[in-house]
Amino acid sequence: MQRVSDADKRVPVAPAGDPAFDPLYDRRMFWPVQRARLQVALRDGAIENLVLPLESGLFRLWHREMPGADWVERKGLPRRVVEEQLGDGLVLHVDPRALIRSTHWRGYAKRLRPSSSAFIWDGEWDLRRGHLLHSSRYRFISDLDDHRDDLRETERFRELKARLDAGRPWSSHQQGILLDSEHRILTYLRVYLSFLDDMAARGFDAGRGKDQLGVAVSREGRLIKINRGLHRLAMAQRLGLPSVPVVVKAVHREWWETVTKGATGNKALARFRAALAECLPETGPGPLDPEPR
């Protein structure tokens, strides 16, 4: 195998990388980042060349109300194609301080979880909720803000320093960073603090992060946060921003059937979009919420 020179081991684009983290890149992360990039490229290639053509065909079958359309809807409709078809029609603007309930998958059997490839979700996922203002991301952002003058006082610094002292420095092949010194740990924390300060000065930039702020619609027509974009949402909540854009990634089948009233194709999508405009964030607990830890 041909050796890679130090000159060639420049900062690679990690799958979840951000230029703000470039000072934390270490050449020892070169091959882990390359493996992560290859995995993402293979996954994206399979989706683009195999999955999307199949999903597009299934969606056309449903959209044109052809034989088998009912089966496609029972399977949940292909999410990626729904997103492509509806585009900005899936975007809602909400008060981030009201978007405080999230799906809570811990302890929820994987076989009961809905598929991320489906747009219509079955099950009781919407009855089991977490509270985002008690989440690790919100605590992390608040802790940084509270101790901005001495980040060594933050809980995250103590956690990362403990790993460093134990000889297990924290690293991320998805971000391409290695925190093998106190200086690097503090730089890492300052980057997140800079994101918070930038949002305070410029507002919420939907294109800034890698992931959209995804939500799902419950059986009662309420918005529940799903994974991804949780750090940025925590920042918006901490800052008390008046509004952030969220993208509907899934809906509960009971709500879908209530608002579409048995329609398929364009009529179903039109009824869905009209009802979506009335959806507000869920703020209350769910009947299946886990016991507080």
pLDDT digits (tens, 9 = 90+) for 225-240: 998 889 999 999 999 9
| CB half-sphere exposure, 161, CA atoms < 13 A | 13
Query: Taking the CB of residue 235, how many other CB atoms lie within 10 A of it?
Result: 27
Among 130, 108, 114, CA closest to 79: 114
Among 75, 26, 34, CA closest to 55: 75
CA angle 258, 264, 265 (to 5 degrees): 135
The CA R_g of the chain, rounded to the nearest whole Å, is 22
What is the structure's pLDDT at 9? 46
Would you kindly state where each structural domain of the chain is located, as residue ranges? 19-281
**Enclosing H/E stretch for 260:** helix 253-260
What is the structure's pLDDT at 209? 72
> For residue 79, what are the contacts with CB-CB under 8 A and spacing of at least 6?
116, 117, 118, 119, 249, 250
Residue 16, φ and ψ in degrees, nearest 5:
-115, 30
What is the structure's pLDDT at 293? 55
CB-neighbour burial class of residue 108 (10 A; exposed 0-12, middle 13-18, buried 19+): middle
Give the Cα separation of 272 and 172 in Å (integer). 40
Query: Taking the CB of residue 174, how many other CB atoms lie within 10 A of it?
Result: 17
Prediction pTM value: 0.90
Low-confidence ranges of the chain (pLDDT < 70): 1-12, 292-293
What is the structure's pLDDT at 26? 85
